[in-house]
Structure 1
């Protein structure tokens, strides 16, 4: 009987491993094909049969993306907008999350439900009024035209994550600070915030990714080439009669690098923030 249980458990583990292998392979193959296609010469991208390994390797697509299509400007624009919005979201979200988690106030449930509804609201529904508002105040084709909406749309989700993470922190630290005469703001800055770094990293990674890959607002609010971000810039590569697939692949690879580095560097903190704080209510 015991032998049958071990055999059944071993089969279950094998099935799980097989499922993981299938998922990882299905996710990795498009990324692999994107990278190798960016290293091919234009005539080899659509070759039949396809080349699974570029021969020879060519970095001409990367050079063309930066020299001919101005990808460096798009990269700088995306970095400015995304970093600024992420910093604002973390600053405002941590303050709001701490207040909702620890400070006495009425209507906390209503506030959290409102934030949830806002976070689920489709962004396309607010594009027309947002465009009219930005045009009225003269913010079209500017960095703040994207920084402010990105902050507003990503703030509710960040507050949810950070508020739930703050709830998971022990209250003894705050009580010690109050005994020493520290104000709530001092307790938040000196005691709570250093303990909440995994939650901050989790909210930061999600916010950075959402802002970095956003397309519709960037296309609508910034139609000047000087303020276009990476998603819009790549979408406008080439002409209707000439689509530079290799250059698009190369630019896409470069665009993925910051997110990949961010996730790799903070992967442990993100997992810790999701498991120990973000799923608690």
Structure 2
């Protein structure tokens, strides 16, 4: 066997092992969600539930206001993702196409948000939310979720906008197109791969966020799914079948969003990485 063939085989083996490691927890989650509570923690772990039951899903969907929590998470994630992508795309377009004093300094200050751990901001965010009367509200979640994702999205989209030939922008200017019209009719349609990537990352981050939601939400009717799932933990023991069933349902919207935008995802990951 040639050296090239060995390299290819080794590559596929490494990829296969990596895929198995990544998929195994998800398979175990699905398996456990169909197990009765008495069979959840069996050793060695069983990936094929025997006996299998849908009782966990039935109990999740009919108890603890799960539908309300799912709706709360959907509202927060959809609105915050839409606002974040829209605002960051406008900011990125301005950084990429306009010349103004302090542009690079402002952009670098914005990027500081990428290196500050989110947990370090919990206390000042809480104080700010209290002063703005945003505690215990879905609006409080949306505002800070949008603020927390602007830096990454702006960084990603600016690189893509800069890769769009300036001649296209200049041609529209000659035809009398305003900055808003160039942004809306030229930049956004060409930036679909980067927008799709930003949408996937932002929705995933907002849908799964736990710490901030746990910090500011006390009204149970306003809980989001990541926080609400802990309600399935009893005083003496955790009902793992219910937790995994709820988690499996919570994964569905993320999978849907990825499937909708996946055709642009890989292209968007590399968009703007190399300037022509």
Superposition TM-score, scaled by structure 2 size: 0.95
State the superposition RMSD in angstroms: 1.5
Q: Is the 1:83–1:208 Cα contact (8 Å) retained in structure 2?
A: yes
- For residues 57-89 of structure 1, the C-alpha deviation after alignment (integer angstroms, 9 at most, x for no partner) is 311111111212222111111111111111111
Give the one of 225, 231, 234 matched to 2:220.
225
Deviations 1:169-222 (A, max 9, x none): 112221221111111111111122111111111111111111111111000011
**Which of 147, 154, 159 is matched with 2:154 structurally?**
159
> What SS does the aligned partner of 2:29 have?
helix
Partner of 2:102: 107
Query: Does 2:135 correspond to 1:140?
Result: yes
Instruction: Map 1:1-281 to 2 at 5 A.
Output: 7-277=2-272, 279-280=273-274
Q: Distance in 2 between matches of 1:28 and 1:181?
A: 53
Distance 1:119 1:49, change over 3 A: closer
Query: Is the Cα contact below 8 Å between 2:79 and 2:142 reproduced in 1?
Result: yes
Following superposition, the deviation at residue 144 of structure 1 comes to: 0.8
- Structure 1: which 5+ runs fail to align? 1-5
Q: Which runs of 4+ in 1 moved over 6 A?
A: none
SS in 2 for 1:226: helix
Contact 1:81/1:146, CA 8 A, preserved across alignment: yes
Partner of 1:3: none
In 1, the alpha carbon distance for the partners of 2:45 and 2:270 equals: 43
Unaligned segments of structure 2, at least 5 residues = none
Give the C-alpha shift of residue 46 in structure 1: 2.0
TM norm structure 1: 0.93
Q: What is the alpha-carbon distance in structure 1 between the residues aligned to residue 169 and residue 47 of structure 2?
A: 58
Query: Per the alignment, in what secondary structure is the counterpart of residue 234 of structure 2?
Result: coil
